[in-house]
Structure 1
């Protein structure tokens, strides 16, 4: 699977003392530097693949753009020897919008991308104070305070008419797990998906970073011209943190379903925004923390 996974030889030791050397597959992890107009914006550790979606989703999640049309070009930065060999246009929706989103047939690696924003889009602050480093375990690393990341979304979700049947919600984690092809090989990736009201998964992405997986599905929506994601559900394989809840809000998603627990700040943000937040979806039960009115016949008192 190329750079998505890597093979390593490991020593396997069992409880009975048996030892055996065998090959094992690990999830790929590499840095990706994002530049805007040639100026460094951030570096994120990610699993290579769907990088254009990752970039678009990241920009949406930071409140820099609100749709794919706010970006006119995303290019891999190549060496001087290979910069002349541009190939293809990434994404049919980008093509329909007249965008010039291209990849370079780079000799080195595909770990630096440069973004060109539409003239009407305000440029982000890329000063030393604004620059930050994003690791695969924390999408907020380098932020000076929680107030610095609680961005105001351009989309309202409180009036979204989405209604979900409990059986649909309970089936979402299993559907997501079945779609995790790389996790089945490595056991080392998070996943995110966008689902409709009937539980159909419209897009699934995997990554070593849970925030990256969310950025990739949101970026897919931006590239396909589907923002805001009205009457849609964000499904995540782990916990529902503040950062993931904020990313859902900035993409106009009215419901977030997580296999594990939410944080208190995630619940506060969902409550304030009018978003439905569901956690601990496993074993035939779930906890509805906010927005229980969207769960048909919900017998859960979420306090909302």
Structure 2
């Protein structure tokens, strides 16, 4: 129920007519992430797959990269005004010997839904090197790549209801280059959708995501490239444009970055050798 909410709106037309109707809105609530009981960051997200979101975020920050690094994950003691559990606090307990996040990288302000790196202590906090080398032998047939956009759109159920969320889909390639959709997540924040995919992969002991393509519904920002890199994803494709900084980062780390991937064409901004 918290993923969407109905709201009464007035539909107004240029011909002077109007009528009331019920509209479906995407849910958006704050989620506080705690590590070993210590508050670390707050992000605005669409409720759902909260544990995956928390784990994916920790992968992106370089805190964990194996499922065994996590001892437990659960909801914290946050409560609503009426005393019921809010389910807006997630506490991740690290396994023995796993270093907690560097306090110098603590996030003291809200992470917004549109820009995941807002509030970081410095740019160094999101450009740390991945522990997973990117696969050089990945080859993606262009036809398979272009088909991912439509396959993503067909599965965007929350977007179909609200028109107000982003999506990230993980496709796994077989030896013949055929792509299988293995995970899709939606959220008001594009970076959250990616974290939810990566967190799922961590729980499934699937990292690094070597023979995979990450397809996202909107633009390709710097942080999406960074998150894909940290998960060992060699190919990131977006429906819309990349930013200049995302292209620079993809080039620097050896990723393939594709933009405007839709219809019968795509722009390859970095790593064109992986697209055949």
Please classify the TM superposition score into its range, dividing by the shorter chain length.
over 0.9
Q: What are the superposed Cα offsets for residues 54-82 of structure 1, whole Å, 9 maximum, x if unpaired?
A: 111010011111122211111111369xx
Runs of 4+ in 1 over 3 A off after TM superposition: 126-132
Alignment of 1:215-294 (within 5 A): 215-294=195-274
2:73 aligns with 74
Question: Which whole-Å CA distance do the structure 2 matches of 1:154 and 1:194 have between them?
Answer: 20
1:44 aligns with 43
Q: What are the superposed Cα offsets for residues 167-225 of structure 1, whole Å, 9 maximum, x if unpaired?
A: 01111111100000010000000000100222321100000000000000000100100
CA-CA distance at 1:139 after TM superposition: 0.3
Kept in 1, the 8 Å contact 2:61–2:125? The answer is no
CA-CA distance at 1:129 after TM superposition: 5.7
Question: Which whole-Å CA distance do the structure 2 matches of 1:252 and 1:186 have between them?
Answer: 32
Question: Which whole-Å CA distance do the structure 2 matches of 1:217 and 1:230 have between them?
Answer: 14
Kept in 2, the 8 Å contact 1:41–1:132? The answer is no
Kept in 1, the 8 Å contact 2:213–2:235? The answer is yes
Of 136, 142, 147, the residue aligned with 1:171 is 147
Q: What are the superposed Cα offsets for residues 23-51 of structure 1, whole Å, 9 maximum, x if unpaired?
A: 10000000000011111100010000001
Asked if 1:3 corresponds to 2:7, the answer is no
Alignment of 1:46-61 (within 5 A): 46-61=45-60
Question: Which whole-Å CA distance do the structure 1 matches of 2:168 and 2:162 have between them?
Answer: 17
Alignment of 1:4-43 (within 5 A): 4-43=3-42
1:207 aligns with 187
Kept in 2, the 8 Å contact 1:245–1:270? The answer is yes
Kept in 2, the 8 Å contact 1:39–1:126? The answer is no
Kept in 1, the 8 Å contact 2:132–2:230? The answer is yes
Please report the TM-score for the alignment, with normalisation by the length of structure 2: 0.93
Q: What are the superposed Cα offsets for residues 221-252 of structure 1, whole Å, 9 maximum, x if unpaired?
A: 00100000011011100111110000000000
Kept in 2, the 8 Å contact 1:74–1:113? The answer is yes
Of 133, 143, 162, the residue aligned with 2:120 is 143
Question: Which whole-Å CA distance do the structure 2 matches of 1:41 and 1:147 have between them?
Answer: 17
For the residue of structure 2 that corresponds to 1:269, the secondary structure is helix
Question: Which whole-Å CA distance do the structure 2 matches of 1:221 and 1:262 have between them?
Answer: 24
CA RMSD, Structure 1 to Structure 2 (Å): 1.6
C-alpha change, 1:186 and 1:79, in structure 2 (3 Å) is closer
Question: Which whole-Å CA distance do the structure 2 matches of 1:241 and 1:119 have between them?
Answer: 35
> Any stretches of 5+ residues in structure 2 without a counterpart?
none
